Amino acid sequence: MKLLNISAIVMFCVACSSPQTEKIDSLSRAFDGKFTIGAAIDTSIVNGLRPQADSLVKKHFNSIVAENCMKCMYMHPAENQYFFDDADRFVDYGERNNMEIIGHCLVWHSQMAPWFCYDDKGELVEPEVLRQRIVDHVTTIVSRYKGRVKGWDVVNEVVVEGGELRDSPLSKIMGEEFIYTAFEAAHAADPDAQLYLNDYGMDNAGRRDSYVRIIRELKNRGLRIDAIGMQGHLGMEYPDVAEFEKSLEAYAAEGVKVMISELDMSALPYISRSANVGDTVAFMKKLNPYPEQLPDSVANIWNDRMATFFNIFDEHSADVQRVTAWGVDDGYSWKNDFPMKGRKEYPLLFDRNFQPKPFIRDIINRANEAKN
Ligand code: G3I
C-alpha cells in the first residue's frame, strides 16, 4: 500500500515536470513524403534550456533552421575572427536527432557584422574588396558544415516591394553582383548543398517578377539555385491568399522548389514598420488587445486562415519542399517584440502551454486519414 502511494506521488511529480503535450500524432510524420516540417530554433533549445520546446521539436519537426546563430554579426564579428560554437552545437543537435539542417543566412544586409562593408576610415569598400570578403565569409562557413547542412539561404531579403534591388551597403558597392558572387562561392564550397533565395512579402507582384528574373539570371550564368524561400510572416489580413499562391506558382514554373521558410501568423492589429508608436495607455490597449489570452472568436479566424495556407501548401506539395515555422511556441517568438516591444502575440503552431493549436490537430488527422 505504502509502495503504491509512493509510486502515485512519483507519477504525479513526473507529470508535473514533464511537458503535458496533448496526445496527437507527429506533424512531420503526417506530411512524410510531401514536404518536411521545419522549425527555427535558437540556442536556448539547443542548449537544453527549454525542455518542453525541445520535446515538441523532436516529436513534430524533421527539419531545423538556425534562427540567429549563423548570421554574420554572430559568426564573423571581425574580419579575422569567426565564432562557431553556437552554430556547431546547432548542427550537432540536428544530426543527433536525424533532422534536415538548414543554414540561415549567408549574406543579409541586416545583422551583418558592422565591419563587413567598410574600411578603416568608415568608407564603403571598393567592389573587389567586398567581393573577396563575401567569398571568404561564404567559403569559410559553408565548407565548415560541408555535407552536414542540406541547404543555405544564400542571400536574404535583397529585393524591396515593387521589385527594386534593396538599397544597402552591399548593393551600393556591387549592385546585384553580390548575389551572384555569394551563390558561386557557396556552390564551390559545397557542391552538394542546396542553395536558396529567401525573402518576405512574396505576394507582392514586383518582388515576384524580380525573383523570377534573378532565378533566370542565376541559371543563365550557370549557377546553382534550388529553391525560393517564401518567408510567410503572415497576418490576419495580409497577404492576399491568391497573390501568395500566384507567386508560389510563378517560382515553381521556373523549375525551382518552394520553401515556406519562416511561417508565423500575427493575430494582432497590423502596425506599419514606419508607424510612430507612442505608448499612451489607450494606444497600447488598441495595439495589444489580448494581454491575457486570445479570444475564441479571433482564435477561430486565425486557425481557419492557417488551415487555408496549409491546404495551399498541401495542394502544391509537388513543388513545396519544406514548410518551416519561425519558432516553436507563442511564448518564444520574435513577434512578441516586433514591430513593437511587449505585445502578447499568438503566431506559432504551439501555444504558450506547448499545446498544439486546433488547426494542427485537424491537419494531422486529415493527412493521416488520406494515407489510409
Ligand atoms: O542575444 C541578445 C541578448 O544578449 C540581448 O540581451 C538581447 C536584448 O534585446 O538581444 C539579444 O539579441 C536579439 C536576438 O534576436 C537574439 O534573441 C536581438 O536583440 C534581436 O534583434 C534578434 O532578433 C532576431 C531578428 O531576426 C533580427 O533581425 C529574431 O530573433 C529573429 O527571429 C529574426 O529573424 C528574421 C530572419 O532572420 C529573417 N527574416 C525575418 C525574421 C524576423 O525578423
Tracing cell 491537419 back to the chain, one arrives at 363
Which stretch of 103-107, 340-344, 349-353, 368-372 has the lowest confidence by average pLDDT? Answer: 368-372
Q: Say what percent of the chain tops pLDDT 90.
A: 85
According to DSSP, the β-strands at 36-41 and 194-199 are unpaired
Cβ 339 under 6 angstroms from ligand 1: no
Query: Could you tell me if 14 and 300 are in contact, meaning their C-beta atoms sit under 8 angstroms apart?
Result: no
For 31, the 3-state DSSP assignment is coil
Ligand 1 atom with least separation from CA of 40: 32
Tell which wins on pLDDT, 224 or 342: 224
Cβ 118 under 6 angstroms from ligand 1: no
Express each pLDDT in 242-266 by its tens digit.
999 999 999 999 999 999 999 999 9
Residue 6 pLDDT greater than 60, yes or no: no
In this structure, which amino acid lies at residue 180?
Answer: Y
Indicate the pTM of the whole model.
0.92
With residue 220 as reference, give the H or E element that holds it: helix 205-220
Express each pLDDT in 223-237 by its tens digit.
999 999 999 999 999
Express each pLDDT in 288-322 by its tens digit.
999 999 999 999 999 999 999 999 999 999 999 99
How many other CB atoms sit within 10 Å of the CB of residue 11? 10
Q: How far is the CA of 332 from the centre of ligand 1 (A)?
A: 11
Residue 52 pLDDT greater than 70, yes or no: yes
